[in-house]
Amino acid sequence: MSDSLKPLVLVIDDEPQIRRLLAVALEANGYRVLPAATGQEGVVLAAQHRPALVVLDLGLADLPGQEVLRRLREWSSVPVVILSVQDDEAGKVAALDAGADDYVTKPFNTGELLARLRVALRHATPREESAVFQSGALVVDLAARRVTVADREVRLTATEFALLSLFIRHAGKVLTHRQILREVWGPNAEGQTHYLRVYVAHLREKLESEPSRPRLLLTEPGVGYRLIEEE
């Protein structure tokens, strides 16, 4: 593939060693890399080069990562994958609520990061709309509101189906507790996380082969949930 056809990834991180590591990993996997050492530089480069994807560190020296994300979202819907320190749950939640597509914690596994980038790019270039979603043994016919697991029909309540449909629309992405509660139960329910725990448990009982060790509907601790797309 010629360089001009490779997706351009803008990496905004003030740690030189992280920028070098990401450049090596991404270029070895078919991406072009545009590095930025500051948030301000990253905003300018994003406007000049229109990257296919942005990898954004939350802990920048000149501008908070949240502010960089806010500026990007004023004019662009480019997928943004956040890099965050391990224990900064509040920052990750705020970034996802503000329009980030995903996050990866530092220190990170390169293979996981590459997988998250592929998912984010798929969302930027969505597949043809289909009324049927499949992930492993789970098949959901959204038009017929029919759910099967390993060819066995599963009955869901209206709320359970609404919750599952939301996860399907954002399959592969982290959804925060607040986002899910707002979409399914309305803006007045954003603090009612006990609703969510109960209904996620119900979905796992009905959809997972081992509900106590879920493989489809994963918990992102302190942040939210993610529906996995399996082949």
We report the CATH number of the domain holding residue 59 as 3.40.50.2300
Let me know whether 109 and 191 are in one domain. Answer: no
What pLDDT was estimated at residue 187?
81
Domain boundary among 124, 148, 171: 124
- Sign of the alpha-carbon dihedral angle for 39, 42, 48, 50: negative
Let me know whether 84 and 116 are in one domain. Answer: yes
Cα–Cα distance, 185 to 64 (Å, whole number): 31
Domain boundary among 93, 124, 155: 124
CB 204 within 8 A of CB 179: no
pTM for the complete prediction? 0.74
Let me know whether 139 and 218 are in one domain. Answer: yes
How many folded domains does the chain comprise? 2
Let me know whether 102 and 15 are in one domain. Answer: yes
Let me know whether 136 and 115 are in one domain. Answer: no
Let me know whether 103 and 156 are in one domain. Answer: no
What pLDDT was estimated at residue 86?
62
We report the CATH number of the domain holding residue 206 as 1.10.10.10
Cα–Cα distance, 123 to 100 (Å, whole number): 12
Question: Partners of 138 in the beta sheet?
Answer: 135, 149
What pLDDT was estimated at residue 129?
54
Give helix 158-169 / helix 193-207 axis angle, nearest 10°: 90
Cα–Cα distance, 53 to 209 (Å, whole number): 35
Which stretches of the chain drop beneath a pLDDT of 70?
1-2, 4, 86-87, 125-130, 231
What pLDDT was estimated at residue 215?
93
Let me know whether 113 and 169 are in one domain. Answer: no
Let me know whether 85 and 155 are in one domain. Answer: no
Question: Partners of 176 in the beta sheet?
Answer: 224
The Cα angle at residue 132 between residues 204 and 96, in degrees rounded to 5: 60
Helix boundaries (H) for the chain: 16-27, 39-49, 65-73, 89-97, 110-124, 158-169, 177-185, 193-207
CA dihedral 144, 150, 155, 161 (to 10 degrees): -60
Q: Could you tell me which residues come within 8 angstroms of residue 215 by beta carbon, excluding any fewer than 6 positions away?
A: 136, 208, 209, 228, 230
Let me know whether 120 and 160 are in one domain. Answer: no
Domain span at residue 83 reads 3-124
Domain boundary among 61, 90, 124: 124
What pLDDT was estimated at residue 206?
96
CB 11 within 8 A of CB 68: no
What pLDDT was estimated at residue 41?
96
